A and B are shown apart, each in its own frame.
Chain A
Amino acid sequence: MTADKKQRPLTPHLQIYRLQITSLLSILHRFTGIILGIGGVLFAVMMIAAAWFPTYFDLLHLGLTGWWGWLFLVVWVWSFFYHWFNGARHMVWSMGRGFERSTVLRSGVFVIIASMVATFGLCGWWWSTGAL
Chain B
Amino acid sequence: MTFFARGNNPARRWILQRVTGVALVFLGLWFVLSIPVLWHANPQEIGRWLDHPWRLYAMQATLVFLFWHLKLGVEVIIGDYLRGRWHLICQSGNVILCVGLMIAALVAVTGLVPR
Please tell me which stretch of A15-23, A83-91, A96-104, A105-113 contacts chain B, meaning at least 4 of its Cβ atoms lie within 8 angstroms of it. Answer: A83-91
Q: Are A126 and B43 in contact (CB under 8 A)?
A: no
CB-CB contacts below 8 Å: B89-115 with A: 97, 101-102, 104-105, 107-109, 111-112
CB-CB contacts below 8 Å: A93-132 with B: 94, 122, 126, 131-132
Q: Within 8 Å CB of B29, what residues of A?
A: 84
CB-CB contacts below 8 Å: A21-79 with B: 30, 33-34, 36-37, 40-41, 43-45, 47-48, 50-52, 54, 57-58, 61, 65, 73, 77
**Minimal Cβ-Cβ distance residue in B for A10:** B81
In this assembly, does A11 line the interface, its C-beta being within 8 Å of a C-beta of chain B? yes
Chain B interface main SS type: helix
Q: Within 8 Å CB of A36, what residues of B?
A: 70
Q: Are B73 and A47 in contact (CB under 8 A)?
A: no
What 5 pairs across the A-B complex have the smallest Cβ distances? A51-B108, A131-B36, A44-B105, A50-B43, A47-B108
- A interface residues with partner B (beta carbon < 8 Å): 10-12, 30, 33-34, 36-37, 40-41, 43-45, 47-48, 50-52, 54, 57-58, 61, 65, 73, 77, 80, 84, 87-88, 90-91, 94, 122, 126, 131-132
- B interface residues with partner A (beta carbon < 8 Å): 18, 21-22, 25, 28-29, 32, 35-36, 39-40, 42-43, 46, 63, 66-67, 70, 73-74, 77, 80-81, 97, 101-102, 104-105, 107-109, 111-112
